[in-house]
Structures are given as C-alpha cells and as structure tokens.
Amino acid sequence: MCPLIPNGIISSGWDFVIAIILGMAFGFILEASGFSSARNIVGVFYGYNFVVLRVFFTALIVAMVGLLYFDYFGWLDLSKIFILPTYLTPMIIGGVVMGVGFIMGGFCPGTSFTAVAIGKIDGIVFTIGLYFGIFIFSEAFPLFGDFYTSGDLGNVTITDATGIPASWVAMGFTVVALAAFWGTMFVEKRVRKNMTEYKF
Amino acid sequence: MNKELATNKEPKYINPYLGGVLLGLLVLITVLITGRGLGASGAIKSTVVATAHVFSPEQVKSNAYMGKFISDDHSPMYTWLVFETIGIFLGGLLSGVVFGRVKKFRTDHSPRITSRTRLIFALIGGMLFGIGSQFGRGCTSGAALSGTATFALGGVVVMFAIFGTGYAVAYFFRKLWI
C-alpha cells in the first residue's frame, strides 16, 4: 500500500501541497524544540544542552521502528522507498566539512530556516553562507568531479553492507540512544552549574 | 543567580522527547506518503541553480554540476524540496508566533564575543555546511536523519562524520559559545 504517491494511491498532483504541509510540521517541530537558537544547538558539543541529541535520537528510533512495523505488517513496500546512495569517501569528507561548519555557524540548514523565520540575524547570515558555499561548490565542480563520484557503493542499506538485520540495527540504535539519554542527564547537570551567562 | 528569575526567563520549548517523537512520526509519515524523507539543503541548491540560470543560462547548462538540475519544461525551483522548505519557514514562523518568539531582528552569541564576530563565523559556517552538504548528498535532515532512519549506509556515515567532527573541533571554537 505505502508509499502512497509512488504507488499512485495519492495523485502526484498533490505532491507540492503535501510538501508544504509536511515542511510546516518540520519547521514547527524544529522551532518549538528550540532549534531556532544556535546556542541551544551547539550545547550538545559542550555538554550544557543536549536537546539536539534528545530530539535527533528519539526521532531516529521512532522512524526506524515505525518503518519496520509498517514493513512487518505488509503495509509498506520497502523496495519502493528511496535509499540514499553511498559514496563513501566523499560523504566522509562532506560530513567532516559540515561538522566544522556546524561548530562555526551553530546551525544546520533546516534549523537556520526556522531561525530566519523568527528574526535571527545569525540565521539569515548562515543561510546566505549556505548559498555561497553551494555556489562555490558548483563553480569549482570540474576540479573535483572525479572525487565527487568516487567510492560509489550504490543505494546500499546498513543491512546490505554489514549483513546485520534491520531490526537489530534499530535495536542497537535504541539501546545506545537510551544509554545516551541517561548519561547526558548527569553531564548536563554538572556543566550547567558552572555556566551563568546562558539562559535555558 | 536568583533561581526564580532564571525560571521566569526560560523560553517555552516543548519537551525534547516529545519533539523527537513528533519528528520521528513526521519522518515516518513523509516516507509512507512520498517514498523518501525530509530535506533542507536541496532547496538552497535549487535556488543557486535558478539564480545562476537567470544571470548566465549558457554557463549553467554547460556547468558539469548545475547542468544536471536544469530541465527544459520547468524551473529549477519547481521541486519538492523547495516547497517543503517554504513549509519549514512557515512552520517555524507559526511556532515562533505561538510561543512568542517572533521579535525584532537580533543575534544570538556568547557574551565573550561581539555580534560581528558571531556573524562572520555564521557566514563561514554556512559556506562550509553548504559545500559539505553537496559532497554528503544531503545535510543533517536529508542524509543524517532521513538517510539513517531509512537504514541507508550513507546516512549513518554522514551522521557520524558530522557529529564526530563537531566533538573533535569543538574545543577550538569554544569561545564562540561558552
């Protein structure tokens, strides 16, 4: 039955209406969780605010387990969903560059849009930076075009690559997430004691 | 600091685990409806291609990267992620209005740095995130969250690379935040 649009159950004419509605829910959740403030976000790297870890890991395990249930009951054709392709080295390098950008800029793209929405100048400047970054990448593309497509493993899942069944992967993430939720509670308490200038 | 005062000034955010469950359900619903997850950096890429196309259409068509996103029958802005991103903005605005956070233009920064420093780093950080997201085939939303949630190997790779690097370099940029 699912996915509904690729299976023709919902007409693709609704695509963009659905895009705006899902996007609105996304933006609302990000903003309401406090991601329109860069200082809330980077707290995860300094131990004074683990909201990113809590929201991100909870979302991850809810979505993973949900997909597995839909697959188990036969409501979702997993072969019809998009699996992000893996280009190993470029994606590691890309992730490293994003990691440095994350610490310096304090946002990631989705969160910066919600910061723009509530009037944060740092969010606006970060978004302008994104634009220039992608522009520079496009213009310089011939220089590293070969690298960009190197390490192509295709649209592989963790199960394809490692042989670990998807349910075990979800289980693993869940256990690690719960342990992290518990452990970071104590770290946060300790670190916050020494911070006075930050309003929570 | 007076504890009560601090509590009064506390911004009203939803419980992070509630936010996480809602976000997880949203990713799930998005995959169930559209067959793929959420994204964010893709819309900026479309904007880059679209604006470059206005100024120098020939150059964009011949550019090995941007040329891939040009089609004769519709604008590069006519993509799912652009509409979704308009939604992100509207949803953020709605939440900001509901919780009283839509105020005059302002900048968040550590008291140890000036707004100017914060903005310079925000610009550089944005540029790096933009460049990295192209190599990563997506950012924190499209690759790390939606990719990993759909069990894609690439999603996990990007997720660990982003957060691992964040922790590795956090020390050098601590003055910006704490």
**pLDDT of A48-78, one tens digit each?**
999 999 999 999 999 999 999 999 999 998 8
- CA B120 to centroid of chain Cα atoms: 18
Encode pLDDT of B32-73 as tens digits.
Answer: 999 999 999 999 999 999 999 999 999 999 999 999 999 888
> From A135, which residue of chain B is nearest by alpha-carbon distance?
B48
Question: In terms of CA atoms, which chain A residue is nearest residue B52?
Answer: A135
Cα-based torsion angle of the residue sequence A168, B38, A185, A195 in order, rounded to the nearest 10 degrees: 150
ipTM: 0.96
A68: contact with B, CB 8 A cutoff: no
Instruction: Determine the Cα–Cα distance for residues B137 and B148; give it in Å rounded to an integer.
Output: 13
Q: Which residues of A touch B140 (CB under 8 A)?
A: 98, 102, 108-110
Q: Hey, is the C-beta of A114 within 8 angstroms of any chain B C-beta?
A: yes
Does residue B5 register a pLDDT over 60?
Answer: no
A156 CB within 8 Å of a chain B CB: yes
* Interchain proximity B125–A101, CB inside 8 Å: yes
Min Cα separation B71/chain A (Å): 17
List of chain B residues whose C-beta atoms are within 8 Å of the C-beta of residue A132: 123, 126-127, 130
This prediction's pTM: 0.95
Residue A27 with chain B: CB contacts under 8 Å: 87-95
| pLDDT tens series, chain A, 200 aa | 899 999 999 998 899 999 999 999 999 999 999 999 999 999 999 999 999 999 999 999 999 999 999 999 999 988 899 999 999 999 999 999 999 999 999 999 999 999 999 999 999 999 999 999 999 999 999 999 999 999 999 999 999 999 999 999 999 999 999 999 999 999 999 999 888 666 65
Q: Which residue of B has its CA nearest to A51?
A: B16
When pLDDT is averaged across residues B70-86 and rounded to a whole number, the result is 92
A22 — contact with chain B (CB < 8 Å)? yes
Residue type (1 letter), A98: M
Lowest-confidence range among A176-185, B103-112, B128-137?
B103-112
**Residue B111: how many other CB atoms lie within 10 Å:** 9
**A85 to chain B, closest Cα gap in Å:** 6
CB atoms A102 and B178 under 8 Å: no
Contact B35 A21 (CB under 8 A): no
Q: How far is CA B81 from CA A196, B39, B84, B87, in A?
A: 40, 6, 5, 9
Instruction: Look at residue A195 in the predicted model and tell me its pLDDT.
Output: 80
Question: Residue A55: its chain B contacts at CB < 8 A?
Answer: 16-17, 19-20, 23
Which tokens sit at A45? Answer: 């790297």
Compare CB distances from B165 to A15, A67, A95 and report the shortest one's residue: A95
Find the closest chain B residue to A155 by CA distance.
Answer: B152
Answer for the pair A46, B166: CB distance below 8 angstroms, yes or no: no
**So what's the pLDDT on residue A193?**
87
Instruction: Indicate the domain borders of chain A.
Output: 1-79+164-193, 85-154
Q: Which pair of structure tokens corresponds to residue B104?
A: 């005059």
Position B3 scores a pLDDT of 44
Confidence of residue B4 (pLDDT cuts 50, 70, 90): very low
The residues facing A76 across adjacent strands are A2
- Interface contact B108-A37, CB threshold 8 A: yes
> What pLDDT digit, counting tens, does each position of B159-170 carry?
999 999 999 999
Q: Is the pLDDT of residue B1 over 60?
A: no
